[in-house]
Amino acid sequence: MELKGYIFAILVGIGWGTVGLFFAEMSKYNMGVYDIITARMLFAFIAGIIHIIYTKGIKELKISLGSLKTAALMGIVAQGLVNVFLFLSIEKSGVIVATLLMSLGPVFTLIFSRILYKEKLNKGKINALILTAIGTIILVTNGSLINLEFNFLGVIYGLLSGICFGLYPIISKSISGNNNPNVVMIYSFVIVVIMLLPFLNVGNFITYHKLTANFLVSILFAVVPTLLCHLLFIKSLNYISATKAGIITLLQIPAATMFGIMFLNEQISIWKIIGIILIIIGILLIKMQDKEKN
């Protein structure tokens, strides 16, 4: 039965790796960062509501006030700000660098756990932090500390997306056991839409979705790397541990890198490859330390 869990986690990693492709495709049509995120979250919310009603019934949509507050916080931080900073980083630094910086989420989770819960940093975790730090420096500088040609703002946005992503497990701890975590996630989608409404270019949004092909792209973006990947990740936990699932979904890093090279003509050097490898090893070490602790 474990095989099902591995397959689900692999599909999640590949699915998350396509995010940059959807962003690049939609931005060709004058859709700004906030327009794209609004489309993604709005259609993911609608699809999620349909899924819950069809599979569980309308009564499953009931949620406690406490979990609704959690959904709001999750929507603003772990969905809204993660996407905003990620896409702003993609605009300035490209899919590969932005995805890697966002993937540093587990590193920031470790730091937040140390600050908030006083969790001890053992030798393994310290080594992991050092490796990811070195890997990140090599990645963004392309191995040259003398000729710094990277986009500073793009790197800052990428790191901010990683920080917000790292807050996701912290926020998730407050979800009540009486509520379906999928329902909480779905409500977080609509919170993002509400948050971004003041920044939405309504004219661009409507014009873009008048074309059937564009409308289908938005639907795919909302369903595949958003709603479906979340559902598959939760499903994988029925067969394998959260640590194993988290490690396997790191496939999003090589997947995003491959898609960026193949479809977006992004360049990759030996130094970037070294940086990617060090970051992956560092995150793996962190997740393995979590496994030992559990």
Which is nearest to 197 in space by CA: 59, 37, 68, 26? 37
d(CA 176, CA 2): 27
pLDDT score at 32: 96
Surface-to-core class of residue 216, CB atoms within 10 Å of its CB (0-12 exposed, 13-18 middle, 19+ buried): exposed
Surface-to-core class of residue 202, CB atoms within 10 Å of its CB (0-12 exposed, 13-18 middle, 19+ buried): exposed
pLDDT score at 175: 62
- For residue 44, give both structure tokens: 């993911």
d(CA 80, CA 44): 13
Question: CB-based contacts of 103: which residues, under 8 Å, 6+ apart?
Answer: 162, 165, 250, 252, 253, 279, 283
Which is nearest to 230 in space by CA: 62, 85, 87, 47? 47
Phi, psi of 268 (to 5 degrees): -135, 135
Long-range CB contacts for residues 167-172, cutoff 8 Å, separation at least 24: 167/77, 167/78, 167/108, 167/109, 167/112, 168/74, 168/77, 168/78, 168/82, 168/105, 168/109, 169/109, 170/109, 170/112, 170/113, 170/116, 171/70, 171/73, 171/74, 171/77, 171/78, 172/70, 172/74
pLDDT by residue for the chain (294 residues), tens only, comes to 789 999 999 999 999 999 999 999 999 999 999 999 999 999 999 999 999 999 999 999 988 888 888 899 999 998 999 999 999 999 999 999 999 999 999 899 888 888 887 777 788 888 888 999 999 989 988 877 666 677 899 999 999 999 999 998 888 776 655 677 889 999 999 999 999 999 999 999 999 999 999 999 999 999 999 999 999 998 898 898 877 888 899 899 999 999 999 999 998 999 999 999 999 999 998 887 765 555
pLDDT score at 82: 96
